Structure 1
Amino acid sequence: MKQLELVYQDEHLAVINKPSGLLVHRSRIASGAREFAMQMLRNQLGRHVYPVHRLDRPTSGLLIFALSSDIARTLTEQLTAREVRKTYHAVVRGYVAESGTIDYALKEELDKLADADADTDKEKQPAVTHYKCLKQVELPYKVSKKHDTTRYSLVQLQPETGRKHQLRRHMAHIRHPIVGDTNHGDGRHNNFFREHFNCHRLLLAATGLSFKHPVSGESINLEIPLPDEFHQPFLK
Structure 2
Amino acid sequence: MKLIFENNDFAIVTKPAGMNFHSEDEAGFVVLASDMLKCKLYPVHRLDKMTSGLVILAKSSKVANDFLELFESRKIEKHYLALSLRKPKKKMGKIVGDMAKSRRGSWKLLRTKQNPAITRFISKPLSSGAILFLVKPYTGKTHQIRVALKSVGSPIAGDMRYAAVEDAKELDRGYLHAYILKFDLNGESYSFKSLPDEGELFLTQECQEKIKELYSEQE
TM normalised by structure 1 equals 0.77
- Map 1:133-212 to 2 at 5 A: 133=123, 135-139=124-128, 151-191=129-169, 194=170, 199-212=171-184
Equivalence for 2:17? 20
Inter-partner Cα distance in structure 2 for 1:111 and 1:69: 33
The one of 6, 10, 16 equivalent to 1:9 is: 6
Equivalence for 2:195? 225
Specify the SS of the correspondent of 1:107: strand
Specify the SS of the correspondent of 2:190: strand
Q: CA deviation at 1:102?
A: 0.7
TM normalised by structure 2 equals 0.82
Unaligned segments of structure 2, at least 5 residues: 106-112, 208-219
Kept in 2, the 8 Å contact 1:89–1:207? The answer is yes
Inter-partner Cα distance in structure 1 for 2:104 and 2:42: 23
| Residues 91-119 of structure 1: per-residue CA shift (max 9 Å, x gap) | 0123333321111221146877xxxxxxx
Unaligned segments of structure 1, at least 5 residues: 113-122, 140-150
| Residues 177-203 of structure 1: per-residue CA shift (max 9 Å, x gap) | 100111111111224xx2xxxx32100
Distance 1:138 1:187, change over 3 A: farther
- Map 1:58-137 to 2 at 5 A: 58-96=50-88, 97-108=90-101, 125-133=115-123, 135-137=124-126
Q: Which has the larger radius of gyration?
A: 1
Distance 1:187 1:110, change over 3 A: closer
Inter-partner Cα distance in structure 2 for 1:182 and 1:50: 29
Distance 1:69 1:111, change over 3 A: farther
Equivalence for 1:47? 39
